[in-house]
Amino acid sequence: MIPYGKQNLNQADIDAVVEVLQSDFLTQGKKVPEFEQTVANYCHAQYATATNSATSALHIACLALDVGQGDWVWTSPISFVASSNCALYCGAQVDFVDIDLDTGNLSVQTLEQKLIQAQKENKLPKVVIPVHLAGQSCDMQGIHALSQTYGFKIIEDASHAIGGRYQAKPVGSCEYSDITVFSFHPVKIITTGEGGMALTNQPELDKKLKRLRSHGITSTEEEMTEPSHGPWYYQQQELGFNYRMTDIQAALGLSQLNRLDEFVQKRNELAAYYNQNLNTELVTPLAQQPNRVSAYHLYIVKLKKSDTNKHKQAIIGLRAAGIMAHVHYIPIYLQPYYQSMGFDSKDFPNAQTYYHSAITLPLYPILTLEQQDYICEILNLILA
């Protein structure tokens, strides 16, 4: 079976992990801060907090922005459930903003209409979480402009997008957001096994993120509410978690980072080859917008015409031919857990159309041209 995604590890990655295994610190050593600093520098952001997953990073990002009971958090319905679960963990309520059908990203026009309506009902969101689907940045400048008018905070779910660019800067610069989150799950662009990171340019948010990652505890004397009892002293100041990344993982991440640009370039080349060789009378790749470089976590095409049956048959046919085609994503509001909150799919017509037409084809750096030719041939045959 040709998988839809796959990690790429070399001997240097393995050596980096072994070196930590032979050192004194498996966790809470030097590798985590080094990894954080290197990612922050790469992204032109001030601060970074490594976590044990992007899900954890999204959770503490919401908490750092004071999301709690009575608050609304909005995100895209075409994402992994973690993008909205993070708000539920905080006791907030979730709503979804329908997508732009060409890119699959949250539609800024729909966001604006929804904000106008929410203002009338006094239900404006505290936080909006745009998701950079497949690795292409959302219209962050447009979303940021709306945040200034309507007073919400922004967390970029950039789980797909490390190594991508928006305008003149790397995704993760937080130029138009409060916090940006990356995932290092093996299927993503670079991996730490499991892992995530939250970047910000705001020192107060960074302090909160670091406290929440480690039980709400601080060992910094200036942050304490009373004089230190002695060199052993620490204070728990709020309810946090153990969401720490290990040094074993950070060493792998640091080593993987050396090849990030190479990975992204290769993914872009493979995507271009698909674009040339698929029959564009049958399928349309997700539209690429100007001023962006996609990290191409996923290669997604849509059937020219949304057709529930044809879509299902195409994926079954591809899998029968040994090609692990997938759908990213099932709209979150269709999940039974979310259905019980009363969501109506009629409120998200574009997400519905997208769901019945999107096909993820295999994409990872060591995918060969022969494999791509085979995938194109089978898909063209099935759809013809």
Q: Does 157 bind ligand PLP (CB under 6 A)?
A: yes
Per-residue interface string for the shown chain with ligand PLP, residues 77-96, x marking contact by CB under 6 A: --xx-xx-------------
Stretch that binds ligand PLP, among 31-39, 75-83, 264-272, 330-338 (CB under 6 A): 75-83
Rounding to the nearest 10 degrees, give the CA dihedral for residues 144, 73, 54, 190.
Answer: -40
Q: Minimal distance in Å, beta carbon 136 to ligand PLP?
A: 12
DSSP alpha helix (H) spans, the chain: 11-21, 31-43, 54-64, 82-89, 108-120, 140-150, 203-213, 247-257, 260-277, 308-320, 336-339, 349-355, 369-383
Q: Does 131 bind ligand PLP (CB under 6 A)?
A: yes
Terminal-to-terminal C-alpha distance of the chain: 23
Instruction: Give the distance, in angstroms, between the CA of residue 180 and the centroid of all CA atoms in the same chain.
Output: 9
Question: Of 77 and 170, which has the nearer Cβ to ligand PLP?
Answer: 77
What lies within 8 Å, CB to CB, of 92 at 6+ separation is: 62, 67, 68, 69, 70, 71, 72, 73, 126
Q: Minimal distance in Å, beta carbon 85 to ligand PLP?
A: 9
Shortest CA distance to 361 belongs to which of 82, 81, 132, 134? 134
Q: Minimal distance in Å, beta carbon 332 to ligand PLP?
A: 10
DSSP letters, 126-171, are SEEE-B-GGGPPP-HHHHHHHHHHHT-EEEEE-TT-TT-EETTEET
Residues 194-233 that bind ligand PLP (CB under 6 A): 196
Residues 32-61 that bind ligand PLP (CB under 6 A): 53-55
Give yes or no for a contact between 68 and 87, defined as CB atoms under 8 angstroms apart.
no
Question: Of 159 and 268, which has the nearer Cβ to ligand PLP?
Answer: 159
Is the bond leading into 166 cis (omega within 30 degrees of zero)?
A: no
Shortest CA distance to 83 belongs to which of 112, 107, 111, 105? 105
Question: Of 245 and 293, which has the nearer Cβ to ligand PLP?
Answer: 245
Phi, psi angles (nearest 5°) of residue 200: -155, 160
Question: Of 186 and 216, which has the nearer Cβ to ligand PLP?
Answer: 186
Identify the residue among 31, 160, 259, 266 touching ligand PLP (CB under 6 A): 160
Q: Does 266 bind ligand PLP (CB under 6 A)?
A: no
Question: Of 80 and 338, which has the nearer Cβ to ligand PLP?
Answer: 80
Tokens 């191409």 label which residue? Answer: 296
Shortest CA distance to 338 belongs to which of 56, 75, 16, 134? 75
Q: If residue 361 lies in a helix (H) or strand (E), which one and from where to where?
A: strand 358-361
| Integer CA distances (angstroms), 283 to 298, 311, 357, in order | 16, 11, 9
Per-residue interface string for the shown chain with ligand PLP, residues 170-199, x marking contact by CB under 6 A: -------------x-x----------x---
Question: Of 104 and 170, which has the nearer Cβ to ligand PLP?
Answer: 104
Return the structure tokens found at 288.
């690429």
Q: Minimal distance in Å, beta carbon 346 to ligand PLP?
A: 24
Binding residues for ligand PLP, rule CB under 6 A, total 14
Stretch that binds ligand PLP, among 120-128, 156-164, 235-243, 270-278 (CB under 6 A): 156-164
Question: Of 62 and 82, which has the nearer Cβ to ligand PLP?
Answer: 82
Question: Of 67 and 131, which has the nearer Cβ to ligand PLP?
Answer: 131
Question: Of 218 and 244, which has the nearer Cβ to ligand PLP?
Answer: 244
Q: Minimal distance in Å, beta carbon 292 to ligand PLP?
A: 17
Contacts to ligand PLP by CB under 6 A: 53-55, 79-80, 82-83, 131, 157, 159-160, 183, 185, 196
